[in-house]
Structure 1
């Protein structure tokens, strides 16, 4: 029997605004993903999450009472700064739900950056209708900027 996507099991998955008690779980998701996928980050720490998301609106994905992902959005410039899914919960539709939340929160087309080496993230955003609008080779690591190309 094929495993159903978590996102299709709407009764068990909820999105809600971040609450003060969520910080530790979100910081662990952020740290774990950075350790696994961002080898250029030297000495990542749990405190990095609060620094990275400061001043942004954070939405949390919860499945069966477990925090399984989050997105942080800079509303003033329609910039999706962070979108991270807990290890073991990727490819279940959670990222798409968080992305759709961010789209609903902005008036201008949503923009985001992806490190050039993060091919799976680039494929995800392209499947979701984003188009590459810039490629920055002077930053370290190099990155690409994507803009939502869907009709909003």
Structure 2
């Protein structure tokens, strides 16, 4: 654990920039999305690089960049203030990037932000609860089961 902590301390987010997704960002974002799904989403059979474009279609996507490296992104359905995706590049978790992307989504939302988290993803649940989200429902019939969270700050 100490080596992980030291590693994260060397990652500086002082140069973090958030900006709207540009067409040239697509491949980097798709790679982050694919990597996370391959490592953490065991229920997804045969994830592909093309999945990102399909699932984020019609959403507003914000990109997190540090020193010209894309380190994460979030996608928001503005119609219903639903945070659909929030992914951080491997090696950059725990650096505060997710919180900054979440702040962006909160500022874009016209009503209380909502999102879903798979019940098995305890780390994500802790993150959103720490950020002021409250469990608003549980979908036991979904595969995989998930929780709906609503922003308790708005």
TM-score w.r.t. the length of structure 1 is 0.94
Match runs of 1:1-152 below 5 Å? 3=9, 6-7=12-13, 9=14, 12-150=15-153, 152=154
Q: 2: distance between equivalents of 1:55 and 1:82?
A: 13
Q: 2: distance between equivalents of 1:112 and 1:4?
A: 31
Moved over 3 A (4+): 4-7
Q: 1: distance between equivalents of 2:12 and 2:80?
A: 31
Q: 2: distance between equivalents of 1:122 and 1:4?
A: 26
Contact 2:11 2:92 in 1 (8 A): no
**How many equivalent pairs are there?**
148
Q: Give how far 1:6 is off.
A: 3.3
Contact 2:11 2:95 in 1 (8 A): yes
Contact 1:68 1:85 in 2 (8 A): yes
Q: 1: distance between equivalents of 2:145 and 2:39?
A: 18
Q: 2: distance between equivalents of 1:53 and 1:141?
A: 20
In structure 1, the gaps of 5 or more residues are none
In structure 2, the gaps of 5 or more residues are 1-5
Q: 1: distance between equivalents of 2:71 and 2:20?
A: 14
Contact 2:132 2:152 in 1 (8 A): yes
TM-score w.r.t. the length of structure 2 is 0.93
